[in-house]
């Protein structure tokens, strides 16, 4: 394992992240504050509790997951796409560095960025609502797994994308709608039976449910299924990345 190469990629990506502190940190805090004002105050005044939890506190896990998933995907996709765009990817591919080391460097940096943003949003939530975390260790574990798995997805998107428009296509048209429809701001039990069944085909439901269990000790989907969903998703992403580097798909052409 070439730890020097991993460290170099990781530090380079993290340095680029800290050069844009305003966009990286202030923007998520402002967005979260607006969500609390709109959903927590306006809608929360009409919905007192959901599953025995105040509505303002109930939406906190969903808000964190929304930001973490989008940030993980965006950071990882841009991190690997930009070297493709300017042509420096060929220097990386010709270096004595395996695809595992390249993946760990880029994905590790993207996951670290998303984790920082998630923790900042969590800190912002304490300003607006009275929040108690039932299982803090499990919460951090779910947060780390989500950051890592969606960073892997972003890495794939960055290699697949041919231009900046395609880079934004899947996060905007797939991930964000799935998060909104995955019970981020409402309980699945509030839906009609037919829509409850349809919603269960949304993979994001299992991630949000497990993450919400870590906060409140209640879940709409069993924790085992949530962990299985994350494991299958992560394994599939790693397999795809391995195939990409083995075949050179959109890397060597």
Here the tokens at position 93 are: 């591919």
* pLDDT score, position 134: 93
pLDDT-derived band at 45, boundaries 50, 70, 90: low
Reading the block at residue 225, the tokens are: 């299924």
Split at pLDDT 50, 70, 90, the class of 253 is low
Q: Is residue 250 very low, low, confident or very high in pLDDT (cuts 50, 70, 90)? A: confident
* DSSP string over 142-157: HHHHHHHHHHHHHHHH
36, HSE (Cβ side, Cα atoms, 13 Å): 21
- Model pLDDT for residues 52-71, shown as the tens digit of each residue: 888 888 889 998 998 899 88
- Mean pLDDT for the chain overall: 88
For residue 53, give every residue at least 6 positions away whose Cβ sits within 8 Å of its Cβ, in sequence order, or none. Answer: 216, 218
| Per-residue model confidence (pLDDT) at position 16 | 81
- How much is the pLDDT for 130? 85
Q: Which residue has the higher pLDDT, 232 or 28?
A: 232
- Mean pLDDT for 79-102 is 88
Work out the pLDDT band at 248, boundaries 50, 70, 90.
confident
pLDDT at res. 147:
95
pLDDT-wise least confident of 44-48, 108-112, 210-214: 44-48
Report the distance separating Cα 203 and Cα 199, nearest Å.
9
Produce one character per residue of 89-117: b if its CB has 16 or more CB atoms within 10 Å, e if not: beebeeeebeeebbbbbbbbbbbbbbbbb
pLDDT of residue 239: 95
Per-residue pLDDT of 102-156, as tens digits, reads: 999 999 999 999 999 999 889 888 888 888 899 999 999 999 999 999 999 999 9
Classify 53 as helix, strand or coil.
Answer: strand
Q: Above 80 in pLDDT, residue 21?
A: no
Q: Are 64 and 52 in contact (CB under 8 A)?
A: no
């Amino acid at each position: 394992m070439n730890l020097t190469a991993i460290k170099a990629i990781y530090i380079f990506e993290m340095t680029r992240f800290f050069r844009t502190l305003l966009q990286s940190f202030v923007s998520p805090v402002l967005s979260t504050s607006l969500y609390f004002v709109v959903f927590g105050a306006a809608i929360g005044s009409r919905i007192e509790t959901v599953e025995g939890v105040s509505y303002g506190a109930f939406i906190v896990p969903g808000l964190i997951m929304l930001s973490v998933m989008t940030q993980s995907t965006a950071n990882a996709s841009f991190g690997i796409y930009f070297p493709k765009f300017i042509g420096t990817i060929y220097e990386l591919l010709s270096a004595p560095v395996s695809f595992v080391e390249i993946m760990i460097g880029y994905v590790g940096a993207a996951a670290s960025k998303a984790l920082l943003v998630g923790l900042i949003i969590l800190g912002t939530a304490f300003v607006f609502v009275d929040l108690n975390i039932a299982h803090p260790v499990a919460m951090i574990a779910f947060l780390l797994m989500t950051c890592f798995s969606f960073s892997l997805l972003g890495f794939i998107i960055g290699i697949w994308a041919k231009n900046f428009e395609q880079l934004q296509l899947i996060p905007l048209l797939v991930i964000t709608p799935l998060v909104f429809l995955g019970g981020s701001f409402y309980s699945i039990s509030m839906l009609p039976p037919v829509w409850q069944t349809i919603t269960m085909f949304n993979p994001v439901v299992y991630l949000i449910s497990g993450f919400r269990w870590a906060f409140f000790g209640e879940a709409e989907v069993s924790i085992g299924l949530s962990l299985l969903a994350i494991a299958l998703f992560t394994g599939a992403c790693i397999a795809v990345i391995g195939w990409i580097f083995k075949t050179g798909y959109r890397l060597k052409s």
